[in-house]
Amino acid sequence: MSSNPVRWFEIYVQDMARAKAFYESVFKLKIEKLDNPGKPELEYWTFPQMNMDQPGTSGALVRMDGVPSGGNSTIIYFGCDDCAVEATRVVKAGGSIKDDKMSIGQYGFIALVYDTEGNLIGLHSMT
């Protein structure tokens, strides 16, 4: 891994309007809706400065059916050359696959996996 390992974060919420108002109020910023080409049951609102060519980490508030807020409500995405490669390593290392590599449109590909402690993490790649 030749760059910073974390590329994206998601904060899972139950009430998007309430969560959006909270973060905009606390941080004095505007959170914008992101169209989700991968799964229509997801609602994404991104923090500003989502620029894939700039250093730093961006992220989103996310509402997804069946995923409660609190507990394991934040997913950290680790950058990969090809997330399918790291996903195969997850099982060998004692974890498990939630979702195999899938396209997220112009933003590349992701895989969702559980570590050995039951934490859900994301793997991201552009190919």
15: domain CATH number is 3.10.180.10
Residue 118 lies in a domain: yes
Residue 1 lies in a domain: no
Residue 22 lies in a domain: yes
Residue 119 lies in a domain: yes
Residue 20 lies in a domain: yes
Q: Residues 43-61: pLDDT tens digits?
A: 989 887 666 676 778 888 8
Residue 68 lies in a domain: yes
What is the value of pTM for the model shown?
A: 0.72
How would residue 101 be classed by pLDDT, with cut points 50, 70 and 90? Answer: very high
Number of domains in the chain: 1
> Are the C-beta atoms of 122 and 64 separated by less than 8 Å?
no
Beta strands in 1-127 (DSSP E): 6-12, 32-34, 42-46, 58-64, 74-79, 96-103, 109-114, 120-125
Residue 75 lies in a domain: yes
How would residue 5 be classed by pLDDT, with cut points 50, 70 and 90? Answer: confident
Question: 27: part of which helix (H) or strand (E)?
Answer: helix 16-27
What is the domain range of residue 30?
A: 6-125
Residue 90 lies in a domain: yes
